[in-house]
Every structure is written in C-alpha cells, then in structure tokens.
Amino acid sequence: MKKRLQGILQETFKSLGISFSGVDIELPKEESHGDLATPVAMSLSKTLKKPPRKIAEEIIHSISEKDTFEKIEIAGPGFINFTFSKAYLYSEMKALMRDGLVFLRSDIGKGKRVQVEFVSANPTGPLHLGHGRGAAVGNALSNLLKAGGYKVEKEFYVNDAGRQVRLLGMSVFAKYKQLSGMDYPFPEDGYRGDYVEELAKELKIAYEEQFLKMEFDEVAETFIDSSYKKMLALIKKDLEDFGVYFDSWQSERGLYEEDEVQQAIKDLKERGYIYEKEGATWFTSTSFGDDKDRVIIKKDGEYTYFAPDIAYHRKKIEKKFDELIDIWGADHHGYIPRIQAVIQALGYPKESLRVLLVQIVSLLRGGKPVQMSKRAGEFVTLKEVVEEVGADTTKFIFLTRRPDSHLEFDLEVAKAQSAENPVFYVQYANARINSIFAHAKEQGIDVDKLKNTDLSLLNTHEELRIIKKLLAYPMVFEGAVIAHEPHRITFYLQELAGIFHPYYHKYKVVTADMNLTLARLALCEAIRIVLKDGFEILGLSAPERM
C-alpha cells in the first residue's frame, strides 16, 4: 500500500521536476482523512515559495495512475489524503493471502547480523520480575528483527566468575554447616533466600558430612560450581517456561580460560589507553567522554568486574556483527559511557553498540508495593508471577509499554483483569476465527477454495475497514523493525481485534449465500494470517479455543 503510493509520488515529482527524496507517508488517525496521507506539500512550501495547498493541487494534477485511488483530497493546511479504490484493495488482499509473510514483512535487515544480549542475570538466585521484562522485550525484539530480515543471535552472558558466585558458594557452605548444627557465621552480604538452604541440603545429601571439618577455601570449587550451575539450570528452565530461548551462553570464566581478559587489556595497552597509578591499572575512559577513568586491575592484583566486561565486549565486536544490542536494567545506565569508551578505544564507532535500557518494574499487590529485600532473600520470582498470572499475560503487560517507561506491575490487577485482559481480547479474536472455520466445515463448505473467492463481495464499511487495517500491517511492521520497537505490534494487534469483534457481532460469516460466505471466510483467513504473525513476533501463544 505504502510502496505503491511512494512509487506513484516519486514519479509525479519527477514529472514536476521537483527533487524530493523520502516522501513522508503516514497512516492518518482519522478515517475521514483517507487511507494514507502525506504532508509533503507543506514541507515543500518554503523551498518552492508557494502556498502548500497550491503545491498539493499541482501534485494531484500530475498523478497519472488515478485508477489506484477512489479519491485524492487536499485537506487542512495542505495534507494530501489518498483513498484507495476498492479494486486496488481487493487485489492487495489477494496478494496478502497468496504471499503471506512475504507480503506482510519486509526485508529491512538484508541479512545483516545482529546480536542481542539480554537477561544475563547472575546465577546466584532465581529470576525476578525485572529479568522477566528484559526477557520478554529481548525475545520479542529478536523475533521482530529476525522477521525483518536480520540474522539474529540471542546471547546470555553468564557471570560465573568473581565475587558473586563465590559469595553464593560461601552462603551455601555456611548453611551446610549450620544444617549439621554447627555454629558457623553466615557471610556478611551472603544470599539468604530459601534456595540457598535447598542447595545446602542437596550437597549434604550428596557429600554427607565429609566437608564439615574443612574451611571454605578447601572446598570452594565444589560449593561454588555446583551451586551456580544449579541456579543457572533453574534460570534456564524458568526462561523456557516463559517461552524464551537463547542461542548462545557466553561464560565469564571462559573469557579468563581462553585468555580473553588478558588479551583485551594487552590490546588496550598497545593502543595506549592503559596506565598505572597508585598501584592499580586504569583504563582512560575519559578520552571517550566518560566522567572518570576506570580501574581494571586493583591494587591487590585482582581484576575488577569491568575487566571481563571489556573482554566480553571486545569478543562480541570482533565477531563482526553488523549491530550489537545490549539490553540492561536501567539501574546500570551509568555503565554505558565506559562500555562505549571501550568500543571506541578498540577502534569502532560508538554506534556499534546499542544499549537498550529496560526500566525498573515495581511490583504491587492490590495497589500496595510488595516488599522485596534481596538481602533477606524475600522477593517474588518471575516463576511465581508466571504461575500466578500466566506467561502470555505477563509478556503482554511488558510488551504494551515502551521499555523505558517505569512500570507498575500489579498482581491483583493482572489477575483480576484476566477476564477482560487485553491479551485475551486479542487471542479471543483468533479463537473466534478458528471457531468460525470449524463451523463452516461442519456446514460442508470447502474451506480450501478461498483463494479464488470473489472478494468484491466484501463491501460493507466494516469489511473495507478491516481490509485497510490488514494492508497497513506492513507499514507498522516496518516501522517497528526500524525503530526496534516490538510494542508497536502489540498495539496494532489490539486495534485489529478491536475492529474484528464488532464486525463479528454485526455480521454473520457463514450464511446461506455461498459466495458471500466464502468471501467473508477469506477475510477471516487474512485476519488470522496477520494475527498469527503478530503473536509469533511477540512470543505469545495463539490458542485455537478459549
């Protein structure tokens, strides 16, 4: 639809001798403003030194392919509003049904390789709701980009080295001793969740009392490794239950083992971005706009957490992806300048890495904040939320908001709404269509004949409105891919369902009039194709009956 108009306008401009690249075409909000509109006459008014309406007139006058349109109007301060002819709409709808995804999606990525890194939670405890938001957004974004012609790799960075997993091991060790009645101090900032006790119990069963007399350092490896591995397995399981799968799990330890950390520092040193001061090793991130230089090797010889992060991003960028996307919790936004400094120090443009911030989720129950204290180990996990309100609902709530908006997730509202929840509203449209088809089959209608249906029988206002909405999908899709914004798809689906349900209520699809029935079934089929594509991108299920 848009492409066609673009082509026509391009030609028109040529014949008028006006050079104008990238004609702005938009979907008007108001139905009376036609199917597509362009404000181009207004933008040209200054350079051409003519009033916009006059320019619009000239443009309209020079359009050769009048058959495509039912009418072309000048409106308001100089908009040109295009209303497509029915014949054109039917032919496009036919193309949609024939070509399916080829019609709906467009190849924006052109095979470009992009890596999306998300969740990357420390394997020291279960995922919480904030991770869930990252998971839902990262997954939908990956699907969206894939649908838009990118080759996408989804990666989870596993912090399996360093202080945090060690602390987990120590916590489990302390619990292990305490379980045997020993008076053993729990680490200062240790992990206190119930899962720590579970891990300790499992180790006690496996090793009985053989470590009781030992110090932590003697058994550190056993306790750390078995603990974080179990947590990681749990995280993986929770993500799978949430419908999120990764292509790659990059281990932080692996970076040390493969000498990547050392190499990365050496690399930066050779480039002249490393210096020693007060016994520590520093990276000159201020050369690239960071507030201060950052320590990468401490006075005591230990690496800071930043060192493996440097190595990790160096490794990523040297894999030569065309685009790197990191999805972080907004509380980490302060790290953006230093990571981008790394990117630049390694000789790549800042834009090679795109950091998408996902804002904090505050969890409420009945309007009251749910108290969460990580230190005391009291927090609601993603798993619990998914069990309580459902995976589709949870995802949908995340995907009906911009990632950078602060989000209030009220468990009661999410559940109480469940009867009239937007996600069900959209899924219900799909279920209804399935049910229509089931009914049609029962009536002995040959559902496979839809391809040759006479679509011109679809000429009520509601039907034309639906067809136009379907034909707008490629524009919405394209916009979503370019902007990297899956939530646009969510809103589109709600709008589509929002015109299907009234239609369903007002008209019967399966009637005695066979040709009309087939035409309406074709319309339903087209809706189903689009809904299904949207569900797939958002990672939602498409239940056949509800």
Partner RNA sequence: GCGCCUGUAGCUCAGUUGGAUAGAGCAACUGCCUUCUAAGCAGUAGGCCAGAGGUUCGAAUCCUCUCAGGCGCGCCA
Query: Shortest distance, CB of residue 359 to RNA, whole angstroms?
Result: 5
b/e burial code for range 55-64 (CB count within 10 A of at least 16 → b): bbbbbbeebe
Q: Applying CB under 7 A, does 289 fall inside the site for RNA? A: no
The residue from 149, 243, 377, 479 that contacts RNA (CB under 7 A) is 479
- Pairing relationship of beta strands 113-117 and 151-158 according to DSSP bridges: parallel
The b/e string for 207-232 (b: 16+ C-beta within 10 A; e otherwise) is eeeebeeeebeebeebbbebbbebbb
In this chain, which stretch among 5-13, 40-48, 87-95, 229-237 interacts with RNA, using CB under 7 A? 40-48
- 391-to-163, 243, 439 alpha-carbon distances in Å: 33, 8, 30
* Residue 526 C-beta: closest distance to RNA, Å: 16
Site residues for RNA, 500-539, by CB under 7 A, read 501-502, 504-510
Q: Which SS3 state, helix, strand or coil, does residue 113 take? A: strand
Q: What is the CA radius of gyration of the chain?
A: 29
* 273 lies in the site for RNA, by CB under 7 A: no
Query: Phi and psi for 415 in degrees, rounded to 5?
Result: -80, -50
**Which range of residues in 56-64, 75-83, 229-237, 265-273 is near RNA by CB under 7 A?**
75-83
Interface with RNA, residue 221, by CB under 7 A: no
Tell whether residue 420 is a contact of RNA (CB under 7 A).
Answer: yes
Select the residue interacting with RNA from 418, 456, 460, 515 (CB under 7 A).
418
Say whether residue 404 binds RNA (CB under 7 A): yes
Q: Would you count residue 471 as binding RNA (CB under 7 A)?
A: no
- 225 interacts with RNA by CB under 7 A: no
Of residues 178 and 541, the one with the C-beta less far from RNA? 541
Can residue 288 be called a binding residue for RNA (CB under 7 A)?
A: no
Closest by CA to 242, choosing from 486, 546, 539, 542, is 539
Q: Kindly tell me which residue out of 1, 9, 34, 171 binds RNA, with binding defined by CB under 7 A.
A: 34
Smallest separation (angstroms) from RNA to the CB of 506: 7
20 near RNA (CB under 7 A)? no
Of the pair 61, 406, the CB lying nearest RNA is at 406
Provide, rounded to whole angstroms, the least separation between the CB of residue 126 and RNA.
16
Closer CB to RNA, 183 or 448, in the complex: 448
Q: Site mask, RNA, residues 150-169, x = CB under 7 A?
A: ---------x--xxx-----
Under 8 Å CB-to-CB from 401, ≥6 apart: which residues? Answer: 407, 487
Site membership for RNA, residue 494 (CB under 7 A): yes
- Identity of the amino acid at 54: K
Instruction: Identify residues 299-338 at the interface with RNA (CB under 7 A).
Output: 299-300, 302, 304-306, 330-335
Helix (H) or strand (E) holding 44: helix 40-48
> How many chain residues are in contact with RNA, going by CB under 7 A?
98
Least distance to RNA from the beta carbon of 538, Å? 14
Strands 151-158 and 79-84: unpaired
3-class secondary structure, 300:
coil
Q: Which is nearer to RNA, 67 or 300 (CB)?
A: 300
CB of 201 to RNA, least distance (A): 26
Which of the residues 429 through 468 are near RNA (CB under 7 A)? Answer: 431-432, 434-436, 438-440
Phi, psi of 326 (to 5 degrees): -110, 130
For the CB of residue 479, give the shortest distance to RNA in the complex, in Å. 4
Q: Does 285 bind RNA (CB under 7 A)?
A: no
Q: Does 26 bind RNA (CB under 7 A)?
A: yes
| Strand (E) or helix (H) holding 5 | helix 2-16
Tokens 């990252």 correspond to: 134
Non-local (6+) Cβ contacts of 86 within 8 A are 70, 456, 459, 464
Look up residue 132 and give its two tokens.
């869930």
507: left (phi over 0), alpha (psi -120 to 50) or beta: beta
Q: CA–CA separation, 91 vs 166, rounded Å? A: 64
- Nearer to RNA by C-beta: 92 or 392? 392
